[in-house]
Structure 1
Amino acid sequence: MDKITDMPMVQVEWDLECAMAEYGTGLLRLCLLYLGDRALAEDAVQDTFFRAWRVGGFRGESSEKTWLTRIAINVCKSYLLSPWHKRRADAEVRDALLADAPPEADDTLIRAVLSLAPKYRAVILLYYYEGYKAREIAELLHLRPNTVVSRLKRAREQLRPMLEEWYHDG
């Protein structure tokens, strides 16, 4: 029974292997952008699927992608709050993220996004990199839609001066 509605919860047929194949790459990209470290991101994705399996699978209360993304965000947040991660330097994190990029790749945009405060970085990553709408981001982050829109606006305002020369060079 669902504690909120006192209605029986419906369990949806959920295939872990199919979910991993369909959403694994996107979740890895999200975790990599969130955490800035490939090995840590891989661990976070593995932990995401483990937690999803441990709760008994997808119940159908949202889309499967939204559900897994929410779990991944929670995993990344817990990793970021760990004492080990707090001791790492921001420059080291950015360098680790950019190590996988081809040498000729322009890293200006990703460096600018990673320099944002976590609350702004999260909405930018979910909106631009993952393609979620503001309403969906609000559900994922447990915020009001207006808060998400405000954070997107403030993040864009912070990114604009950092990217002005980069944008006009291309």
Structure 2
Amino acid sequence: MAPRKRARNDSNAPEISRPLEIKATMEADSFREELVSMWREGRLCDVTIVVEGRSFPAHRLVLSAESPLYMKPMLSTSFAESKEQTITLKEVSSSLFEAALTFMYTRRCTLASELELQPLLQTACMLQVPALQAAAEQAMVDKLIPATCAAAIDLASHLPLAHLMASAQKLAL
């Protein structure tokens, strides 16, 4: 009888039982680009937000994902708005909502002037859009000068803006 060969222990063999993560390697985020294109063209928009008489078509999915504590409950639960095709917001200006909505889709927005930065930050806090809130808060921190510290501290004391508060207090000292 021929001797039995031992099984080889090949450390280079792939482990089948271990999870394997596959990541996209494309530099451009084609999903986000397509979503932005659909939004700008009004394709598959399933809700319209009306602010100061201006209509803003959007996708419930994007609004819910970007504003999980404000828009998501309004659009997906027992709120009356969840069944509506048109929702009116009264607590925000149309230009600031437009900037916030643009940011939700594109991760950037342009303000007419620096004077709109604080109102945009307040809008981001009201709409509870974490990414916009963080970006606007950082922009305010970057623009801080000793003369604006008191106003920044006052704003941060009324809104959840710990980074702005700490930065303004540090600069004021």
Higher relative contact order (CA 8 A, sep 6+): 1
Task: Determine if the TM-score, normalized by the shorter chain, exceeds 0.5.
Answer: no
Identify the structure with the greater strand proportion.
2
Identify the structure with the greater helix proportion.
1
Tell which structure's C-alpha radius of gyration is larger: 2
TM-score, normalised relative to structure 2: 0.27
TM-score, normalised relative to structure 1: 0.27
